[in-house]
Amino acid sequence: MMRTLILSRRHTPDSQALWRAAVDAGWDVVRAQRYAVPPELAGRTDVAFYAETLLADALAPELGVVLLEPDVRWLAELPSAYRLREIRATTLAAVREVRERAFVKPADEKVFAARVYEPGERIDEHHALPDALPVLVSEPVRFEIEVRAFVVDREAATLSAYVRDGDIARAEDGTWPLDARDREDAITLLASLLADPEVALPPAVVIDVGRIEGRGFAVVEANAAWAAGICGCDPDAVLRAVARTCVPTSSLDDITRRWARAASLAIE
């Protein structure tokens, strides 16, 4: 039986590119029109997702599959040589009132603005979000260029420019230009990171790296491959990454369980 790629009903350039890659690879493709398992997929576990988190979280438990992603503490626990800046993992309760200038972001969902906060500013002052919400706090730095890499089995399968000087790096002609020096620096950092046995990784993941002004190339963050924008990456390689991030619940082992998205385990 051929594998099936599940997309949302939103026809974005990224989803269209993955649709074409899946068809070329001999996959079936289904666009979920609502937050319920399409009848033709009932009982199927030979699926993969490229979709928004709300849709994936609604369908994955019903299908009996688990989505894999880096955990919320991954960046903070990364060796400092790869980060080149101070980062700590905490909770929203600890940072609602900012005491020192810092870049603060939610560790998972984008439920409040990720930005530099000044002393005295309040985050979620109306307490609409839970105190236990995981948060990352880091010293403010400036990334001059950011590069996105889709990683499969600890190898960078494809990469692309992502952000340049704070703006999306897509040129007017639709390309994502990346100069030779930045490409080489990104590949060098990724090679070191991916070869390091002290760095734990899911079977497939997106890792963003970039050049910090005055410091050099460092890891920006890691994200779920099944929900990340592909920028100028090769859709065929992205599809390979997406395929490795969805496993039947019955096939979970100690390694994959570590990276299982909590919402995917809702039926256990």
**CB atoms closer than 10 angstroms to residue 198:** 9
Task: Render pLDDT for 94-108 as a digit per residue (tens, 0 to 9).
Answer: 999 899 999 999 998
Amino acid type, 82: Y
Average pLDDT of the chain, as a whole number: 95
**Furthest C-alpha separation in the chain:** 58
Task: Render pLDDT for 64-116 as a digit per residue (tens, 0 to 9).
Answer: 999 999 999 999 999 999 999 999 999 999 999 899 999 999 998 889 999 99
What is the dihedral sign for C-alpha 13, 15, 18, 24? negative
207: nearest Cα among 38, 110, 70: 70
Per the listing, tokens 């940072």 go with 95
Percent of the chain at pLDDT exceeding 70 = 99
Question: Which residues are CB-contacts of 154 (< 8 A; sequence separation ≥ 6)?
Answer: 194, 195, 201
Instruction: Select from 2.40.50, 3.30.470, 1.10.20, 1.10.10 the CATH code of 74-81+142-243.
Output: 3.30.470
User: What is the model's pLDDT at position 263?
Assistant: 79
Task: Render pLDDT for 207-231 as a digit per residue (tens, 0 to 9).
Answer: 999 999 999 999 999 999 999 999 9
Please give the Cα distance from 32 to 215 (Å, whole number): 44
Percent of the chain at pLDDT exceeding 90 = 89
140 φ/ψ angles, rounded to the nearest 5 degrees: -65, 130
Please give the Cα distance from 123 to 127 (Å, whole number): 9
What average pLDDT score do residues 115-142 get? 93
CB-count burial class (<10 Å; 0-12, 13-18, 19+) for 115: exposed
H/E stretch holding 215: none
User: What is the model's pLDDT at position 265?
Assistant: 74
User: What is the model's pLDDT at position 1?
Assistant: 57
- Give domain limits for the chain: 4-67+246-265, 74-81+142-243, 86-138
**CB atoms closer than 10 angstroms to residue 18:** 24
Question: Which residues are CB-contacts of 177 (< 8 A; sequence separation ≥ 6)?
Answer: 161, 169, 171
Task: Render pLDDT for 150-206 as a digit per residue (tens, 0 to 9).
Answer: 999 999 999 999 999 999 999 999 999 999 999 999 999 999 999 999 999 999 999
pTM of the model: 0.94
User: What is the model's pLDDT at position 268?
Assistant: 47
Q: For the chain, how far is it from start to end, CA to CA, in angstroms?
A: 26
**Residues 206-226 as b or e (16 or more Cβ within 10 Å = b):** bbbbbbbeeeebbbbbbbbbb
Comparing 263 with 103, the larger pLDDT belongs to: 103
Return the bridge partners of 221, or none. 208
